[in-house]
Structure 1
Amino acid sequence: MIDKHSPLPLYYQLEERIKKSIISEELQPGDVLPSERELSENYQISRMTVRQAITNLVNKGYLYREKGKGTFVSSQKFEQNLQGLTSFTEDMKARNLVPGSKLLHFEISPAIEEIKEWLSLEEEELIYKIKRLRLANDEPIAVETSYLPVKLIPGLTPDILGNSLYKYIEDDLQLSIGHAAQTVEAAIVRDEDIKHLNVNKNVPVLLIQRETYLEDGTPLEIVKSSYRADRYKFKINIERK
């Protein structure tokens, strides 16, 4: 029950109680939450307090609302540890999830000036521009656009992209991937990605840019991705030095 004598706010107590039920899987993804009126009566608290708790859980991705239908339990977020350089395929398999990919665009073309500078290319050198929809257990997670120098990966085809690109680069081309620099920022989903990610207009996404280098420092790729913020989160372990 809610402890009205506790120094913890009532909405926070209810929020934590519902969250615990979700984490323990007492409440399953897709389950409908009791109405505000029912929760208010069950816990003897105001509907405004209930509404605040639910709104907080919606904002944190534990719940979602459907107009005219109610409030439902969300699927839990996929978590990626930011320590260690892995491909999307490797990362999903490490979590016992089935990775998937849908090729949206594949072309060989000259690079725009920005990409040319990042990849340290000469004027006449070509790049692969590859746009893919990334899936986990058949659920859309991210739209990913990669730029790679043709001279480093000659003969790359859409068929090869059906598996891990990093594995192909390392096993078949015998190139050693060294390190990457990655940035993450919040943004609103672009109109062109709405249908691919199966989200509504104006929802938040995580924009991730990764610049990957071979062991000798040669730029290998630039990847720009839009991840569903309601389905993906990043984790990093930090040690005090």
Structure 2
Amino acid sequence: MQEPMYIKIHNQLRRDIENHVYQVGDRIPAERQLAEQFKVSRMTLRQAIKTLEEEGILERRLGSGTYVASQKVQEKMSGIMSFTEITRANGQTPSSKLVSYKITQPSLSEKERLALEGSDKVLRMERIRYADQVPICHEIVTVPEDLIVPFAKDDVSSHLYQTLEKQGGYQIGDATE
């Protein structure tokens, strides 16, 4: 299935921001100009811009235009953000409902992606994530068991990244979302 055009535009504009084509505080070109550049309707372009706004990467200023968001948000773009951080950055209140939490054998792809050995196990946790009490996503997290053994289930299920970083001394270097 081919990626929708607005996603392609979103990804290109995000790359442009990450590569400093547009700097923090810069006004991006007008919708009409960008629509011509990408050879799409303004409606398609607006959808891409709206998605970048929702992610906190761009901000609209009434009567002035659309600008690359503040440095604080930009610094977070290059790192891994937890759902809680992303939701709070968007001015919303995050919450979760734990659906399942089990230690189990990894699938073949999990074994490969996590570089696990023969008998290594994983925590597979499912949560419904909410922003302002509105369900946003169904999340399935797979983590090598040895990373979470020292921690309480409540700490892991409610604040995984924070628990690993602050209590475990780990630095989150990579995640596939």
Structure with higher strand content: 1
The separation in 2 between residues aligned to 1:146 and 1:94, in whole angstroms, is 22
SS in 2 for 1:135: strand
* Structure 1 residues 163 and 112: alpha-carbon distance in aligned structure 2, compared to 1, 3 A threshold: closer
Equivalent residue for 2:163, pick from 152, 168, 171? 168
Deviation, 1:156, is 4.1
Report the counterpart of residue 54 of structure 2 in structure 1: 79
Normalising by structure 2, we get a TM-score of 0.55
Match in the other structure for 1:19: none
Which residue pairs with 2:135 in the alignment?
Answer: 140
Aligned to 1:159: 154
SS at structure 2 position matched to 1:177: coil
Q: How many angstroms apart in 1 are the aligned matches of 2:109 and 2:174?
A: 21
Cα distance change of structure 1 residues 87 and 134 upon mapping to structure 2, 3 Å threshold: same
TM-score (normalizing by structure 1): 0.41
For 2:92 and 2:172, the matched residues in 1 are separated by 24
Which whole-Å CA distance do the structure 2 matches of 1:98 and 1:110 have between them?
Answer: 34
Structure 2: which amino acid aligns with 1:92?
Answer: T
- Cα drift, residue 93 of structure 1: 1.4
For residues 83-122 of structure 1, what are the structure 2 equivalents within 5 Å? 83-84=77-78, 85-122=80-117
Residue 146 of structure 2: SS of its match in structure 1?
A: coil
CA offsets 1:32-56 (integer angstroms, 9 cap, x no match): xxxxxxxxxxxxxxxxxxxxxxxx7
Equivalent-residue separation in structure 2 for 1:129 and 1:162 (angstroms):
10
| Conserved 8 A contact 1:90-1:164 | no
Q: After superposition, give the CA deviation of every residue in 1:173-198 in whole Å (9 maximum; x if it has no partner).
A: 00111244xxxxxxxxxxxxxxxxxx
Q: 1:163 deviation in Å?
A: 3.4
Where relative contact order (Cα < 8 A, 6+ residues apart) is larger, the structure is 1
Q: Percent identity?
A: 29
Q: Which runs of 5+ in 2 are unaligned?
A: 1-42, 58-75
- Tell me which protein shows more helix as a share of its residues: 2
1:161 to partner: Cα distance: 3.7
C-alpha distance in 2, partners of 1:151/1:107?
A: 13
Residues in 2 aligned to 1:145 and 1:168: alpha-carbon distance in whole angstroms: 17
Please identify the structure whose Cα radius of gyration is greater. 1
- Segments of structure 1 that go 5 or more residues without pairing to the other structure are 1-55, 61-75, 181-209, 211-222, 224-241
Query: Residue by residue, what CA displacement relative to the aligned partner does 1:125-151 show, whole Å, maximum 9, x if unpaired?
Result: 000000000000000000000100011
